[in-house]
Chain A
Amino acid sequence: MRLSRRGLLRAGLAGTAATALGGLASGCAVPTGSTGRNMVLWYWSGGLSDTVVKNAKARYDRSVDLDAIQIGGYYRSKLITTMAGNAHIPDIAGLKGEDMASYLPNADQFVDLRTLGADKYKSQYLSWKWDQGIADDGSMVGFPIDCGPVAHFYQYAVFRKAGLPHEPEDVSRELDTWEKFFAAGERLKKRIPGTYLLTDVNAVFENVVQQGSRRYVDKDRNFVGDREHVRNAWALAVEAKRRGIVSSIVNGTPDQISAKESGRLPSQLGASWATGDLKNEVPKTEGRWRVAQMPVRPSNNGGSFLSITKACREPERAFEIIAWLLNADNQAQGFVDAGLFPSTPASYGMKKLQEPDPFFDGQVTMDVFGPAAQKIAVAYNSPYDVALGQPIKDEIKNVGVLGKDPKQAWEDAMSKCRRIAKHLGVSY
């Protein structure tokens, strides 16, 4: 059964309801940040490799007590509460990728990592990922931890039976446009009735948007969700529905698990970490899966950062620790321990990342994810993207699930966006 991990975290958090609302932004005479030897690092379970954190503690033991704390529940609300309350703020704070756009406008609450010499590490990291940690004013808030290159997971035997390309290189090469991808879906459905290429239309819509360099709001606070790049994604999603290559299965139900297991849902577009999810959900399918490049170009889904807060008393030492924690060797270890896909290309060739994976019948998945990670487009993420992207995602879902008229759905999405944009001060 598929339970979204983030969903569970949120459900858990929400199960609690009380969360940050209201705050006293003014300074208070309460202890903040570190005092002398003590260096507090906040991250979340699975956010860094335990081995690497332990090694860092030992390595810097002479100069600081590195106090690495895993924060459970809804991470961001705890961080915001302490920062808004101006008390008990960690020195080093993990920042989740999906929250990054909302931290960047508040770059003044973090130490600009360029002032600590971050630029000299830049060449070692994926450039698009590096740029995601930089605010509009040019200051650097986040130092790259991991990323989530998206690829095409599929079941070898099913593709072969349907007469489709089935070797990873062939799939990557021959299903390289959405048109060919959809045609393959039609063929699959025709040859093996009841079999679908993707779960729902949102898989198409969101991946197409993510492939591009623009989202829903641009740097100058203009709504761009009505432009060509979104219209194109919308049209492709509607086409996927029209051509009948998406199922009516609901994500996260036993229906989906069983469909994956029986081969009726033999394909999905997923980030590198989906490997772990698949192994958990459908362990019986070991050996049946392969990974290939997704159509057109890879997109990214997930990945996070480390930052140094203004409360930190020893930013130089903190930066030294961060740069070490996230060097290519340790990122490779992070992949082995926690499935954190390295943002350091030098890691990809390392021996421990070149292991054949029996779940993929001995395929070295890094051969697909590694090149994918390096081809991801640099994109601008606005703090308003979530608010103004959601109505469009909701409406394409209504098209896919409820059979709503696409034209009507698009109009509804746009009128809702217009209203929200006005409310948020985004020009439409």
Chain B
Amino acid sequence: MATVPALEKPTMTVADAPAVQPKTGLRKYWHLYAAISPFYLLFLAFGLVPVGFSLYLSFHRWDGLGSMEWAGLSQYQYLLSDSDFWQSIGTTIVIWALATFPMIFLAMVTAVMLNSAVRYKNLYRFAYFLPNVTSVVAIAIVFGSIFSTNFGLVNALLQAVGLDQVAWLNTPWGIKVAIATLMTWQWTGYNAIIFLAGLQTIPSDLYEAARIDGAGPVQTFFRVTLPLLRPTLLFVLVVSTVTGLQSFSEPQVLLQTTANESTFSGGPDHAGRTMVLYFFQQTFDNNDFGYGAAVAWGIFLVVVLFSIINWRLLQRRGEEQ
């Protein structure tokens, strides 16, 4: 497994001497190991067995109740040839991209606006937090209304400017856009709060200096704010990747239909069936727990791959500046 590339610049590190003698090392660093140990101990106690077991499971057939049957590599072989799984990867990535980039942009703009000295800051901050806590039932009802064909808000707006109605929840692209919109709505405020916290680490004298140099707000943003916000931006991008590529509740909320239909199938042409929904479908609709485990490990690989790509990209851009 590739190591995660380090982000820090040399100047950021503490003047703590690098490790010299391995013998004195452990004695010298024991307090550091102790300080990071709780997370790893908890993982050993409660995380390792489940992870190991799902790996074991992915080499078997299992219906969830009966006895397991050895299946060798066949689950993974099927995974590689399973066009439905590959389609779900594409679907997930498209939805992720449609949601993540507008979301990060909007979140940053919102954070910068809130960070400048506006009034009623508390009120805005509070309101932007609300999408994150609104109950799923309410979201389902509201967004169902927003995207419905004849009475939906979006189509009303389209018609007002002379455009045709779009059957949002009945066309493959419409579904993806609707899901991405819901995700953007739900997570913009959350990310804005992260950026806001990050903005607090930027010393105000740097802004002062930029102003004395005659920099406008846009210049200040690109020359001062953005470079210093890079650790936060990296965090937001990686977390959005990890959680965005594992999304499933948004399509479910938008596409739930009649009782006879699986909520995991993702609408016409499976346009909203993300990787995790596909996992649910295999595991719970089809009772194929072994294959479900193989799908889960496939998801894991995709997520790791994407996170590394994002990390590297941001890293490189950082070096260029």
Touching in the complex, A and B, CB below 8 A?
yes
Contact B148 A253 (CB under 8 A): yes
- Which B residues are CB-close (under 8 A) to A5? 259
> Residues 240-263 of chain A: 1 if any B CB is under 8 Å from the residue's CB, otherwise 0?
000000001111111100100000
Select from chain A the residue with minimum beta-carbon distance to B280. Answer: A14
One of B99-107, B116-124, B197-205, B291-299 contacting the partner: B291-299
A157 at the B interface (CB under 8 A): no
- Min Cβ gap B122→A in Å is 29
Query: Given the complex of chains A and B, what is the CA–CA distance between A424 and B269 in angstroms?
Result: 23
Contact B249 A4 (CB under 8 A): no
Contact B248 A3 (CB under 8 A): no
Interface CB pairs A-B, < 8 A, 14: A11-B136, A14-B248, A15-B136, A20-B289, A23-B57, A84-B65, A250-B149, A252-B256, A252-B258, A254-B144, A255-B148, A383-B63, A401-B170, A401-B268
Most-contacted residue by chain A among B64, B171, B249 (CB, 10 A): B64
Number of B residues near A (Cβ < 8 Å) is: 65
Contact B50 A390 (CB under 8 A): no
One of A29-37, A99-107, A286-294, A341-349 contacting the partner: A99-107
- Which B residues are CB-close (under 8 A) to A19? 280, 283-284
Q: Which of A7, A387, A390, A424 contacts B257 (CB 8 A)?
A: A7
B43 at the A interface (CB under 8 A): no
B6 at the A interface (CB under 8 A): no
- Which A residues are CB-close (under 8 A) to B248? 14, 17
Contact B65 A106 (CB under 8 A): yes
17 additional A-B residue pairs with CB within 8 Å, beyond A22-B57, A425-B61: A7-B257, A8-B137, A10-B252, A11-B140, A21-B283, A21-B293, A21-B296, A22-B53, A23-B62, A102-B64, A206-B260, A249-B149, A255-B148, A301-B259, A302-B259, A386-B286, A424-B286
A283 at the B interface (CB under 8 A): no
B68 at the A interface (CB under 8 A): yes
- Which B residues are CB-close (under 8 A) to A6? 259, 263
- Min Cβ gap B261→A in Å is 7
- Min Cβ gap A13→B in Å is 9
> Residues 134-154 of chain B: 1 if any A CB is under 8 Å from the residue's CB, otherwise 0?
001100110011011111100
Given A250-B170, A254-B148, do A402 and B283 touch, yes or no (CB 8 Å)? no
Query: Given the complex of chains A and B, what is the CA–CA distance between A354 and B284 in angstroms?
Result: 39
Contact A22 B50 (CB under 8 A): yes
Most-contacted residue by chain A among B145, B170, B283 (CB, 10 A): B170
A28 at the B interface (CB under 8 A): no
B21 at the A interface (CB under 8 A): no
Query: What is the predominant secondary structure among interface residues of chain A facing chain B?
Result: helix
Query: Given the complex of chains A and B, what is the CA–CA distance between A249 and B280 in angstroms?
Result: 27
- Which B residues are CB-close (under 8 A) to A25? 67-68
Contact B269 A398 (CB under 8 A): yes
Contact B256 A3 (CB under 8 A): yes
- Which A residues are CB-close (under 8 A) to B293? 21-22
One of A75-83, A118-126, A169-177, A317-325 contacting the partner: A75-83
- Which A residues are CB-close (under 8 A) to B303? none
- Min Cβ gap A417→B in Å is 12
- Min Cβ gap B75→A in Å is 9
- Which B residues are CB-close (under 8 A) to A83? 65
> Residues 70-114 of chain B: 1 if any A CB is under 8 Å from the residue's CB, otherwise 0?
000000001000101000000000000000000000000000000
B169 at the A interface (CB under 8 A): yes
- Which B residues are CB-close (under 8 A) to A394? 265, 270
A397 at the B interface (CB under 8 A): yes
Query: Given the complex of chains A and B, what is the CA–CA distance between A175 and B49 in angstroms?
Result: 60
Q: Which of B53, B151, B296 contacts A255 (CB 8 A)?
A: B151
Q: Which of B54, B151, B252 contacts A14 (CB 8 A)?
A: B252
> Residues 17-61 of chain A: 1 if any B CB is under 8 Å from the residue's CB, otherwise 0?
101111111000000000000000000000000000000000000
Select from chain B the residue with minimum beta-carbon distance to A393. Answer: B261
A356 at the B interface (CB under 8 A): no
Q: For chain B, residues 237 to 295, give those with C-beta under 8 angstroms from any C-beta of chain A.
A: 246, 248-249, 252-253, 256-265, 268-270, 276, 280-281, 283-289, 291-293
